[in-house]
Structure 1
Amino acid sequence: MFDNRTTNPLSAVTQWGHARVASLRRSIDELDRLSLLLAVGQITLVVCSFAGFLLQSLWTPLFVVLFLAVSGLGWVYRQALTAKVVTFLMTVSALVTLGLIAVFLVLESIPAFRTAGLELINPFGENVWSSSQGSYSLIPMLWGTILTTIVAIAVAGPLGIAGALFISEIAPGWLRDIVKPAVEILAGIPSIVYGFIGFTIVNPYVTDRLSVSPGAMFAIGVVIGFMALPTVVSVAEDALAAVPNAMKDGSLAVGATDWQTIGSVTLPAAFSGVSAAVLLGIGRAMGETMAATVMISHSRRLPEPTGYNVFDSTETLTTFIASSYGHVTPGGTFWSALFAAGVLLMVIVTGLGIVSQLVEMRMRRTLGGNQ
């Protein structure tokens, strides 16, 4: 008699195949388990590190080291998965951090609102800041921020759009390759440098020639406008460059000149993007601190003789925070009012950012043919 296992090769091959499939399935299961363990381990360690940091725990460095070790192990064995998990955790961490900052500002500002009430931001109240008399109003600082921003955008808006048009539509290729990086480099100049130039050159010139108060909002707005100029130029140039060439070629084909094409086709098509650039420039001007702090006179009152006098000096929200920090006792109403100013500034700048994003989304829909 013969053994069937030795006389039936097909059966032997089938059994071997089943064994290999089962082994492969076990390997896949093991791979899934390892991937799951790595992902869960990274997420858990990040949460522990974040919680330990907030609680000021001594275990925080250990959690961080373990996270780095698990991430390194995952990079060796599951590189794609590790990259996805790490980038996801970085995004979530950034959002959570911003959220915690916002919550912290709001919580710290509550005592000021309890003490001063809506008079803190009421434009129809006394509008006087005098901590010695218990009068707290952020309206002079808010109004100073608005006036300096108007002057700044009056400088950065036209010059920025003109610069973007020149770079995108007029300048030859070799000059564009020089001018565009140079404009972007201007954005990297520290704000204190602009402030020093404004304090030593612009302030004395404006004071002597126009016979106005030192630290006039006009001079500060001009300096801040030049600081916001690279942002407006860069974003507006990207919007102009995004206009399809087919639209420009069609205009030229029917006999329009280059300038007519720019005015009738390119600018209207990129209007949303250019508007977003101006809004970002406004946000940049509103958030400027050091240059304005160096130049301004820090008088916490409304401009005189009228509130619209940009040649008088007052205070802005950012300079109010910067000049007061370190000279105020923590925990008092003055201290809380600084956080209230931060909340007010955060709301304004965040709103401008949201509006700019909505405008940019509209531009993309328009250029894509979806009205």
Structure 2
Amino acid sequence: MPAHGAAPAKASGGREPRRGGESTVNIGIPKERRPNEYRVGLSPVGVQLLAAAGHPCFVERGAGLGAGFSDEEYVRAGARIVYSTEEAYGRAQLVLKISRPTTAELEWVPPGQVLAGFLNLAVTHPGKVRTLLEKKVTSIAYEQIVGHDGSLPVLKPLSQIGGRMAAQIAATALQNDKGTRGVLLGGVPGVPPAEVVIVGGGVVGENAARAFAGLGAHVTVLDQDLGRLQELSTLFRDQIVTAVSYPHLVARACEYADVVVGAVMVPGERTPLVLPRSVLKRMRPGSIFIDLSIDHGGCAETSRPTTHESPSYVEEGVVHVCIPNLPGVVARTSTHAFLNAARTYIELVVRHGVEEAMALDPGFARGVATHKGEVRNLSRVDFPAAQKG
């Protein structure tokens, strides 16, 4: 039953989640507070799985509405509804989020809590990371968890979604009423299709290529890894062009592009700037640049975050679209896909606790960004070396 007006229980005073014998883990699912973030940290299906295992789940009222999940669905799944974000944090030993906490939320995080989400701490304000360190919060960055095959299993489905959304964005952005080139991605008989250049051949780049090629665009993918380019060439049956991303080849490809997509990421680090201003200057006036790396700092010298309300700006004659958290506006798809990928790791933590989970799964350990007052698995230049673990 919902916890109507119940006073928030204090967190466990640093006791990390561990299920041993009769013990359980209190799990908090707060409502996301960032603009245009409609996803939720756990769906009713996820709550049902954890509640059935004996773990109380405290869901903030309305947390799932953006993704199409009502409070009643959560109650039927076994959750208790709480009526403030502060209470969702205060009752929990483990908090499951999507985006990293806002400054206000950090005030509600109790010392020693375990906090999981797509935290992107390598590009957040250092003061926020310092707060996590001072409170000895264990922060689990989903985007840094590494699978047994070397992939990023929790980030992967959201990268797939973001890559595919790039084609939707570009198709509209290329219209004349958007002040751009007036080009149809797929062309028509007798008129060539749009030229699309994708910098980065990982999961994001592959899915962007799939979506653009599916709409009939002429697609070129550049990446540093020749083996990966060979995989893509085989996967697409030579229907896309691939090239090693030497700077002069990147510049040349961008010069003739109608759309350039930035799809570069290094886990736990700020995205490298692979597109200097000089490259953007050489692009066609009215062409489109979509930076899918913006969550990790952006891969172009001219990139800065935009919003869904104001998605673009023009610099060097190029229309820039740099919207963080693109999957947040297809929240139902994203939340279901996220649970499919993250369930294994969430269950690992509630069954074994963070310390044992790190020992059991080194790939999971790569996702632990702060623990016991130390920075781990983050490449940052603004922390004293003594703080790095």
TM-score, normalising length: structure 1? 0.23
More helix by share: 1
Larger gyration radius, structure 1 or structure 2:
1
TM-score, normalising length: structure 2? 0.22
